[in-house]
Structure 1
Amino acid sequence: MADFLNHLRIFVRVVEAGSFTAVAKENDSTAAQISRAVSSLEEELQAVVLHRTTRHLSVTDVGARFYERAKAILGELDNATDEARNATQKPSGRIRVHSAPGLAYSCVAQVLASYQQAFPDVSVELKVEQSMPSLVEDGYDLSIVSATQLPDSAYISQALGAAYAVPVASESYLKQRGYPRKLTDLANHALLQLESPVAPPDEWHLQQGADTHVWTITRTPFRANSPEALRAAILAGAGIGTLATYSVADDLASGKLRRVLPQIHLRPFSVYAVYPSRRYLDAKVRTLLAHLRATLSPALARAMGICEAHADAAVALSARRSNRTKQQTKRK
């Protein structure tokens, strides 16, 4: 019976992952061993559940019906086992997390460190990449990404907060090249490009109230695929670039960077936690999701608040300067 249940679990995971290799990685075994387990299950059932070729796996009609029933049975069995062992209350083991670079460096790494301190039996592995990996095939438990809209998939997602990117520059650059007062002034400035999953690098979809403007960057002195690299270039005075609220809030608060055209920002997007579609979540995944809602969500809101407050202050300062200029003109 134990072998049958093991083979049943392996079959369900092969159907979900779509390959023997992916399941072999999860079980620290080989693709050949996973294939033999499915073959043993077929011998028990006296039915073929998977069609195999050298490059492709497909589920038979019998296998598809059997998969749905087997998944439900295993789910109920796992739930009963978890309740008996109180496993859902005691997260342990390794959790593999993917994060986009801007999020990782600004707040996710710190949030994961505080999670690990709260749950010392869990070890955290963070992989930083711009694009989201295949969670099941690559063995990730969770991905934290920014997106205007997530693609259709079997994954489950939770929105953790909102953000948008803002044009910023260093004080030294603005003193040298001038302070843009209106959108068309951008034509006289060095505009830096960022490769990002939320927007094309050569287009800034700018919003001002209910109005939207698309500014196309025809040439650039600097292009990067990492927000941290772009931030370093902006701080060095290379030009005007756009950074997400969570990446730039501290620099605005400290005065290292200034918002350009503060009444304008790029199209808003959301920050999501994405994880494989499973009815019964592992304890460490479930507790990490709760920790993200309790820590990352407020951090995103704080960053948004700092950027909005900085914009209000910048607009007020610009209005005062404009009034002084008008008064001086009248006196003359």
Structure 2
Amino acid sequence: MDTLRNMRVFVRVVESGSFTRAAASETMTTAQVSRAVTDLESRLRTRLLNRTTRRMSLTEAGERYFQSCKRILADIEQAEAEAAAAHANPAGKLRVYGGTSFGQHYVMPLIARYQQHLPEVAVDLTIAQEMPDIIEEGFDVAVVIAAELEDSALISQHLGSTAAILCASPAYLRARGVPKSFDDLEVHTCLHLTDASLPAGQWVSEGPLGETFRHTGVTPFQVNNPEALALAIREGMGIGPLPVPVALPGLADGTLVRVLPTHRLQTLNIYALYASRRYLDAKIRTFVEFLREKVPLVLAEQEAALSMSETPVRRHLDASQANGHGARTREVREGHSARHSRDVRDPERLRLVN
């Protein structure tokens, strides 16, 4: 019988004043209770109880040991209650990792909504380009985006799928033309987003019929941040891939146009990663469940916004092209009219013409 169990039995004997009553409360025999106390005394080499056939009393050492045992057992009960509460009640600090752009546009808004439901959970969010060692660095949950997960001892929950879209500025497309097929990109300036979740140095596209297209080539500009790439695209530097939430504001205000809308770049999967499924802390369990519920809804909302933003932008581009052609026509007409007016007003020019 272990020391902690013996301590509990000893406290029950003292509090009940009887070996028989202690045995009943601990579901033991009287002989087992007597043996537990004897084992403690043998281990401590100290008599704890003075006992006769009629009465029992604590020795001086037994009194001190009794008080110490009560404190130890109370601390253990409190520790067990707190640990059990962590499994049952979401509270305390939750450490979360999210990739640079994905963490900003997906994870951060969802954390705000999660804490509205569970304000007892304090979230410590780290947004970084490189994924950390979750266990080594003490993260509870990592939300990552990847084509495929590497082999890992971590538990993964699939939250949804997304893909970047190709965008350009209206000015670039007016100057260089609108690509009609993936092969047309060979004559365009293509900008690259360098990210661990994307194939290095190439675009892998899924066509409308499920066919696969690949574009490779030297790029005059590449960057590891989608927001920075969006600025470069708006400046007319070329065509580039953008995550949907990064592209949406520009598509809505007309500073960006989606290129090859029937094509999507390689599908990327969104995962929540955590260390263990067994005895999962309540704050981790509820956060992962929240992500599983909300991420598909966010993705659906973005798809709807993407569909609504494309038609007006296309019309904006067509109108801009039409206005540009109309302006050039007016310039030609106005130039001809001006020359004609000068000819009429200048008799010398008339004589030279005649």
TM-score, scaled to structure 1? 0.65
Residue in structure 2 matched with residue 164 of structure 1 by the alignment: 163
Residue in structure 2 matched with residue 222 of structure 1 by the alignment: 221
Task: Determine the C-alpha separation between the residues in 1 that align with 2:83 and 2:221.
Answer: 58
Q: CA deviation at 1:86?
A: 4.2
CA distance change for structure 1 residues 84 and 279 in 2, over 3 Å: closer, same or farther? Answer: closer
Percent identical among aligned pairs is 39
Pairing 1:211–2:218 present? no
Residue 137 of structure 1 aligns to a residue whose secondary structure is coil
Task: Determine the C-alpha separation between the residues in 2 that align with 1:283 and 1:84.
Answer: 10
CA distance change for structure 1 residues 316 and 89 in 2, over 3 Å: closer, same or farther? Answer: same
Contact 2:251–2:313 (Cα < 8 Å) also in 1: no
CA distance change for structure 1 residues 87 and 98 in 2, over 3 Å: closer, same or farther? Answer: closer
Residue 117 of structure 1 aligns to a residue whose secondary structure is helix
- Structure exhibiting the larger radius of gyration computed from Cα positions: 2
Residue in structure 2 matched with residue 31 of structure 1 by the alignment: none
Query: In the TM superposition, what are the counterparts of 1:1-332 in structure 2 within 5 Å?
Result: 81=80, 85-208=84-207, 209-217=209-217, 219-307=218-306, 313=311
Task: Determine the C-alpha separation between the residues in 2 that align with 1:229 and 1:98.
Answer: 21
CA distance change for structure 1 residues 316 and 145 in 2, over 3 Å: closer, same or farther? Answer: same
CA distance change for structure 1 residues 153 and 263 in 2, over 3 Å: closer, same or farther? Answer: same
Deviation per residue, 1:239-287 (Å, 9 max, x gap):
1110123432343344332111111111212111111124111111111
One-letter code aligned to 2:294: T
Task: Determine the C-alpha separation between the residues in 1 that align with 2:307 and 2:90.
Answer: 38
Contact 1:192–1:221 (Cα < 8 Å) also in 2: yes
State which drifts further: 150-159 or 278-287.
Answer: 278-287
One-letter code aligned to 2:215: W
One-letter code aligned to 1:102: S
Contact 2:168–2:236 (Cα < 8 Å) also in 1: yes
Deviation per residue, 1:73-127 (Å, 9 max, x gap):
xxxxxxx957995443422221111111221222211111222232222221111
**Structure 1 segments of 4+ aligned residues over 4 angstroms from their partners:** 80-86, 308-311, 313-317
Residue in structure 2 matched with residue 14 of structure 1 by the alignment: none
Contact 2:233–2:240 (Cα < 8 Å) also in 1: yes
CA distance change for structure 1 residues 87 and 94 in 2, over 3 Å: closer, same or farther? Answer: closer
Task: Determine the C-alpha separation between the residues in 1 that align with 2:157 and 2:259.
Answer: 32
One-letter code aligned to 1:130: Q
CA distance change for structure 1 residues 253 and 192 in 2, over 3 Å: closer, same or farther? Answer: same
- Aligned residue pairs total 243
Task: Determine the C-alpha separation between the residues in 2 that align with 1:155 and 1:269.
Answer: 19
